[in-house]
Structure 1
Amino acid sequence: MDRPKALVPLRYVAIGGRGPEDVVVDRRGRVLTGVEDGRILALDGLADPARSRVEVIAETGGRPLGLEVLPDGDLLVCDAHRGLVRIHLEDGTVRVLADSAAGEPLRFCSNVVALSDGTLYFTVSSRRHPFEQWIGDIVEHTGTGRLLRLAPGADAPEVLLDGLQFANGLAPAQDESFLVVAETGARRLSRYWLTGPRSGRAEPFLEDLPGMPDNLWREGPEGPIWVALAGPHVPALDLLHRAAPPVRRAAARLAVRAPYRPAAMAGVLAVDDDGRIRRHLVRHRSGFRMSTSACVAGGRLVLGSVWEHGIAVCELPDGTG
């Protein structure tokens, strides 16, 4: 992998709420995000600070995380408290599509994608720790993340993969032959085959990442997959993950009680369908911390963060977009 390039920030846009964990682009070119009080926000005019505006377009009644805009304009939301929901943005109606899987409540629904046949795939980050204690799962290394599928017309989702290390972002291949799944706790991307002779199998796609991958966003059918890096590689955490389970559980109990402040860095990768890193952008000593999502809007790279009270608008390097 080549040396990383500088991530160049252009401006910070306050949004009147904390924790815009995921950012996506709708059909009108607006950036959509969800904040910790349950509101879904639409951000417009980000290319011109004088014209930037924020509008509340819906409320989930929970804690929205991963988002996916559907072809008809509706919005899918992975809500950490309510499960997988669908929002009709014309009137703000919220409909729960799934709140349990395999007889268990969906306590930490994380990210979702919709394929062209209407099938929905989504992740559950942890079956042991709720969203508010996410750091406990990262420290304990529980391996209780899941990939699920909700077929058109189905009443309940099907578990496709279990044992993932903090399953997070999802993105489809250009031809929808596989899904890329971010495993934050393992610093890797995994591939789950949807078609062909390996259908139903999972394998490594890109390992030993330079940071912890969070949300994924596909930039159009022929664009790269943008991978947000929520934090740097922490060698001490690698050592802890090799410790015995009782040691990891004790460390997790301490971690969820201790004050937490993310590292002063923001980073993203752009990855192609062959698992090659095409861009690695990073900013150290960054004022914008814990970049949990990235998308491209108006010729700019937009970052979300579960930690911040706004989004970052950054320069989009040549060769992308």
Structure 2
Amino acid sequence: MTLYIFLISLLLLSLLSAVASDDASFQKLPVPGKRSGPESFAFDSTGKAFYTGVSGGKILKYTPDKGFVDFAQITKTSTSSWCKGVFGTALAKKCGRPAGIAFNPKTGDLYVADAPLGLHVIHPAGGVATKIADSVDGKPFKFLDGLDVDPTTGVVYFTSFSSKFSPSEVFIAVGVKDASGKLFKYDPATKAVTVLMEDLSGAAGCAVSSDGSFVLVSEFIKSNIKRYWIKGPKAGSTDDIFSSSVSNPDNIRRIGSTGNFWVASVINKVVMPTDPSAVKIDSNGKVLQTIFLKNEFGNTLLSEANEVDGKLYIGTLTGPFAGVMKL
């Protein structure tokens, strides 16, 4: 069985296993157009609309009154019929596959780490994304994943899950316990991309603290979260074990200015996902709350938990819907 067939099989399993929930506080927002995998969320300045990247290279905008509408695309071909459904997943190198996304709150620009195609930026009006970089120091990106924007400076931080394996080889990377992931920094003022951390084991997500003093980086394969200090007396140094209490952490999102974060957790047994959960941690890595989401998401691969205005927005890597839960 080829890896693409395996990924398609996993996608079909996710569609079948996205069981209905009897929790009245939980709502499903189905992704339109035979797309899937609303992996990460970015909220505009009003806090009422969110944006998410899906399979086939589209960025969708969601508002309660209109639902999902097209906002932007990674490539010119992202809107074609070839980029829909399982074909869009298989043709990610042509269509694009947005992973981490976040707004610069001061400019309104939306930054996107596209897994196979590199770092992009989207104008506030939407449209086709502009590629910023697909390599650093002459070395092409293989598999970008998480992204966040420093709310104090506008500097962009993003990760590569692996520098050896592509998104279509993710299960190989996990199986061999790859440790070639990296944390990058992009400064819009200088337009330079630099490497901040190397030798990360599945660097899936990252999140900057509300005061811009540090950035957290998840190591999915090691079930570990590291902290890189941006400023202060420890600037440029790393806490190798910020938290090891979250199993297979994916995306990390700060909760406003509270100093706390939500982490998407997948407890992995023989690669297949079980017991997806959202875990809240504080600025010291202590677990404050865990919300188990097996009933809502079944075997769907959880990717993000993002809190805004008393609601938790929950993303998936392969599922056909985004979840919203009242807290």
Give TM class, smaller chain: 0.7 to 0.9
Pair 1:202-2:234 in alignment? no
Identical amino acids, percent of aligned pairs:
28
Give the Cα–Cα distance (whole angstroms) in 2 for the partners of residues 188 and 31 of structure 1: 28
- The residue correspondences of 1:305-320 to structure 2 (distance < 5 A) are 305-316=316-327
Q: Structure 1 residues 26, 91: CA separation in 2 closer, same or farther (over 3 Å shift)?
A: closer
Q: Any idea what the Cα deviations from partners look like across 1:24-61, whole Å, max 9, x if unmatched?
A: 3222321211111111011111xxxxx46111100012
Match of 1:293 in 2: 304
Q: Is the 8 A contact 1:265 1:286 kept in 2?
A: no
SS in 2 for 1:136: helix
SS in 2 for 1:157: strand
Q: Is the 8 A contact 2:146 2:206 kept in 1?
A: yes
Normalising by structure 2, we get a TM-score of 0.79
Higher relative contact order (CA 8 A, sep 6+): 1
Over the aligned positions, Cα root-mean-square deviation in angstroms equals 2.1
Match of 1:67 in 2: 101
What is the CA-CA distance between 1:91 and the residue it aligns to?
4.2
The one-letter amino acid paired with 2:67 is R
Given the alignment, which residue of 57, 67, 92 partners 1:53? 67
Match of 1:144 in 2: 180
Q: Is the 8 A contact 1:266 1:286 kept in 2?
A: no
What is the CA-CA distance between 1:131 and the residue it aligns to?
1.0
Normalising by structure 1, we get a TM-score of 0.81
Given the alignment, which residue of 276, 281, 285 partners 2:286? 276
What is the CA-CA distance between 1:152 and the residue it aligns to?
3.4
Q: Any idea what the Cα deviations from partners look like across 1:267-288, whole Å, max 9, x if unmatched?
A: 1111111211111111335444
SS in 2 for 1:118: coil
Given the alignment, which residue of 242, 249, 256 partners 1:213? 249
List runs of 5+ in structure 1 lacking aligned partners. 1-6, 46-50, 238-261, 317-321
What is the CA-CA distance between 1:154 and the residue it aligns to?
3.0
What is the CA-CA distance between 1:155 and the residue it aligns to?
4.3
Q: Any idea what the Cα deviations from partners look like across 1:139-177, whole Å, max 9, x if unmatched?
A: 111100001112233344111111001112111123211
Match of 2:92 in 1: none
- The residue correspondences of 1:1-321 to structure 2 (distance < 5 A) are 10-16=26-32, 17-28=35-46, 29-45=48-64, 51=65, 53-61=67-75, 62-71=96-105, 72-115=107-150, 116-203=152-239, 204-209=241-246, 211-222=247-258, 224-229=260-265, 231-234=266-269, 262-288=272-298, 289-316=300-327
What is the CA-CA distance between 1:102 and the residue it aligns to?
2.2
The one-letter amino acid paired with 1:11 is Q
Q: Is the 8 A contact 1:264 1:285 kept in 2?
A: no
Give the Cα–Cα distance (whole angstroms) in 1 for the partners of residues 149 and 304 of structure 2: 18
